[in-house]
Amino acid sequence: MGDLTLIDASAYALQVLLIILAIAIVMHKNNGTIIILIASFSLVTASLYVLNSAPDVAIAEIAINSAIIPLIYVISISRQREYIILDKVNDDFIISDNSFTGIGYVILKRFADFYHLELNITNDPGLCALGEGEDQVLCEATNVDLIITKDTETNQYVFKGKNSSILIHKLEQLTKDHDNIRVVKFKDRDVGE
């Protein structure tokens, strides 16, 4: 320990910091904080590379792991927060008077606020043009979470979603009291089935 230089001491300190950061990344629950921790982890790693005279590797580490990867994570997580709804109903269930004030929207908004999701309601003409039978394929092939259609015989609105999604079960409980809403859950299929 006698001839411990300043560089050696800072290298040891950085290595301890690295272990602390790694444990923090695993233990933390908030996704946003984890992204910041991952970026700082690679910043510390890059400093260690510089201390070990590898500036080339340090630049690559900074560029990839503390810039591109966190930005990609930010995008992925912002996708995850969305609840994408395909509105195939053309009456005032969701949109009345050209604004989101329909009874269906109020129910879904309450549901989304409770689970901290952001509603993304689309009535994309290309997707709406597909027939009723395509709904299951649409749920599997795209990232549409919920499809709303209208059953003309029973005059009910039908919510369609994947059975594997926990949210569709919660939505079913929430809409239990509404007689004009029915929830349909698609069973998961294996690829090619």
Partner 1 sequence: MSVSKNIILFALLSVLLIVFMLAMQDLDVLYNSYGRDYYLLYGLEETGSRNLVSAIYLDYRLFDSLFEAGILLIAVSGIIWISKHDIEEKNAKFMIDKYKTPDLFVTFSRLVYPLMLTFGFYVIINGHLSPGGGFQGGAIVATAILILYYIDSERETNIGLIVTIEKYIFMTIIVLASISLFTRGTFFTNFMPLDASLQMKSIYLVLLNLLIGFKVALGLWTIFTAFLKEGR
Binding site for partner 1 (CB under 8 A): 55-56, 58-60, 63-64, 67-68, 71-72, 75-76, 78-79, 82, 141, 143
Q: Is 117 exposed, middle or buried, given 0-12, 13-18 or 19+ CB atoms closer than 10 A? A: middle
Pick the closer one to partner 1 by CB: 46 or 107: 46
Answer whether 90's CB lies under 8 Å from 104's CB: no
Pick the closer one to partner 1 by CB: 162 or 182: 162
Report, in Å, the least distance between residue 129 CB and partner 1: 16
Pick the closer one to partner 1 by CB: 99 or 143: 143
d(CA 103, CA 14): 57
Report, in Å, the least distance between residue 177 CB and partner 1: 33
Q: What is the DSSP letter of 124?
A: -
C-alpha distances (whole Å) from 133 to each of 130, 139, 160, 183 are 8, 11, 12, 16
d(CA 21, CA 37): 7
Pick the closer one to partner 1 by CB: 9 or 64: 64
Report, in Å, the least distance between residue 2 CB and partner 1: 27
Report, in Å, the least distance between residue 119 CB and partner 1: 12
Report, in Å, the least distance between residue 52 CB and partner 1: 13
d(CA 170, CA 107): 12
